[in-house]
């Protein structure tokens, strides 16, 4: 690893020819497969420094729910979110932690790309904290990891980034002529999967789902360079399974429900995850182990219908008893594969 770090050199291309090799003082060659792994190791150092500061009560972080679960930071790849109180002492501590990390790793925080966001905080206080950290003060909503944070998923404007992505993709395809079979392939392989990231986290409004399906429907039947054409069959028929002789397109609303229900499956199985502790701290735990105490509140605006399936199963399991087939599957008992909640 040291050899990979010490032997890095770069050249400047002048009219397509490499001129003047420059030896780098730190870092790996561009595209080196070791780079992501090395960055993960270095980012873990920052996480451990923050956890050590939190253990020593040098950083308060953000406390959630009845159990006062503390959240100090979240990391994903090269993106990091810090949570802190509005005290200037905590801001100075966070700044000192970043300086220590800079001297340890040689990585400097890019303050031009750093922003501070306040929740229920006056603008004057927010700008004063921004000056203390030498970063910019910004407002909500924000775009983080491709998702808008601080917005309302029930509003149609919340889904505009996803609609724009689909529209730009369709505009790019209109530059070439596509056959009917090619349009089917593009819808199934691309257009259907583009909204999955949003659909796995938020409940899509009916009007937005209908708009996306209308874009798919118009692209399928109108095509490119063929002018406007009539739809030969209804969209419901097109979305029927291939086993029935149709195209098997997936409805947006059904996919949205299926992706959101995965969180109900993950909830009892990821007991050590931070998001699990946050949910428990806010809403508590139900005796069936599948969900939180209050079904509607657990859904938190976007998944109000999701817990009903497991609610029915858990109620039937308790009513019929643990010795019944359903009771052994859901609540737990001597089944060949064990209870559903323990299935790997």
pLDDT of residue 209: 92
pLDDT of residue 208: 92
CB 322 within 8 A of CB 332: yes
pLDDT of residue 314: 54
pLDDT of residue 290: 60
pLDDT of residue 205: 92
The helix-helix angle for 88-105 and 34-55 (nearest 10°) equals: 140
Residue 299 has pLDDT above 50, yes or no: no
Q: How many CB atoms lie within 10 A of CB 233?
A: 11
pLDDT of residue 325: 47
pLDDT of residue 335: 44
Q: Is the pTM of this model over 0.75?
A: no
pLDDT of residue 87: 86
C-alpha gyration radius of the chain: 26
pLDDT of residue 50: 86
pLDDT of residue 143: 83
Task: Please report which confidence band the pLDDT of residue 331 belongs to, taking 50, 70 and 90 as the band edges.
Answer: very low
The beta-strand segments (E) located in 46-202 are: 62-64, 69-71, 73-76, 79-82, 115-117, 136-138, 142-144, 147-149
Residues 103-152 pLDDT 10s: 888 778 887 788 888 888 888 988 998 888 888 888 888 888 888 888 88
Q: What proportion of the chain, given as a percentage, has pLDDT over 70?
A: 74
Average pLDDT for 234-244: 79
Q: What proportion of the chain, given as a percentage, has pLDDT over 90?
A: 3
Average pLDDT for 195-206: 90
Residue 282 has pLDDT above 50, yes or no: yes
pLDDT of residue 174: 66
Could you tell me whether strands 79-82 and 115-117 are parallel, antiparallel, or unpaired per DSSP bridges?
unpaired
Average pLDDT for 177-200: 85
pLDDT of residue 223: 58
Q: How many CB atoms lie within 10 A of CB 90?
A: 19
70-74, 173-177, 197-201, 309-313: least confidently modelled range = 309-313
Residue 303 has pLDDT above 50, yes or no: no
Triad 249, 254, 256: Cα angle to 5°: 110
Task: Please report which confidence band the pLDDT of residue 298 belongs to, taking 50, 70 and 90 as the band edges.
Answer: very low
Task: Please report which confidence band the pLDDT of residue 287 belongs to, taking 50, 70 and 90 as the band edges.
Answer: low
Among candidate residues 107, 216, 104, the one with its CA nearest the CA of residue 169: 216
Task: Please report which confidence band the pLDDT of residue 277 belongs to, taking 50, 70 and 90 as the band edges.
Answer: confident
Share the mean pLDDT of the chain.
76
Residues 26-56 pLDDT 10s: 666 656 666 777 777 888 888 888 888 888 8
> CA torsion, points 280, 283, 289, 295, in degrees to nearest 10?
-150
pLDDT of residue 236: 80
pLDDT of residue 69: 82
Residue 80 has pLDDT above 70, yes or no: yes
């Amino acid at each position: 690893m040291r050899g990979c770090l010490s032997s890095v050199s770069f050249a400047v291309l002048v009219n397509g020819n490499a001129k003047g090799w420059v030896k780098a003082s730190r870092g790996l060659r561009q595209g080196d497969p070791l780079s992501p792994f090395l960055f993960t190791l270095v980012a873990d150092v920052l996480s451990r420094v923050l956890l050590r500061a939190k253990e020593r009560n040098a950083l308060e972080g953000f406390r959630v729910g009845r159990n006062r679960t503390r959240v100090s930071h979240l990391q994903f790849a090269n993106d990091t979110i810090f949570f802190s109180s509005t005290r200037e002492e905590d801001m100075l501590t966070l700044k000192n932690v970043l300086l220590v990390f800079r001297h340890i790793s040689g990585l400097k925080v890019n303050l031009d790309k750093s922003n501070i966001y306040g929740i229920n905080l006056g603008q004057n206080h927010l700008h004063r904290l921004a000056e203390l950290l030498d970063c910019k003060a910004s407002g909500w909503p924000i775009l983080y990891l491709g998702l808008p944070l601080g917005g309302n998923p029930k509003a149609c404007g919340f889904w505009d980034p996803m609609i724009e992505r689909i529209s730009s993709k369709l505009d790019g395809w209109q530059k070439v002529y596509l056959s009917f079979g090619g349009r089917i392939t593009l819808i199934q392989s691309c257009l259907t999967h583009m909204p999955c990231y949003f659909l796995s986290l938020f409940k899509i409004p009916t009007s937005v789902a209908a708009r996306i399906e209308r874009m798919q429907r118009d692209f399928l039947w109108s095509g490119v360079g063929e002018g406007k054409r009539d739809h030969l069959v209804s969209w419901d028929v097109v979305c029927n399974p291939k086993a029935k002789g149709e195209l098997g397109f997936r409805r947006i609303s059904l996919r949205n429900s299926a992706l959101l229900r995965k969180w109900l499956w993950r909830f009892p199985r990821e007991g050590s995850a931070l998001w699990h502790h946050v949910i428990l701290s806010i809403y508590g735990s139900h005796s069936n182990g599948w969900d939180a105490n209050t079904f509607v509140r657990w859904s938190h605006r976007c998944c109000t219908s999701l817990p009903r399936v497991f609610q029915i199963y858990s109620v039937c399991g308790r009513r019929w008893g643990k010795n019944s087939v359903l009771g052994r599957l859901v609540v737990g008992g001597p089944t060949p594969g064990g209870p559903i909640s323990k299935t790997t």
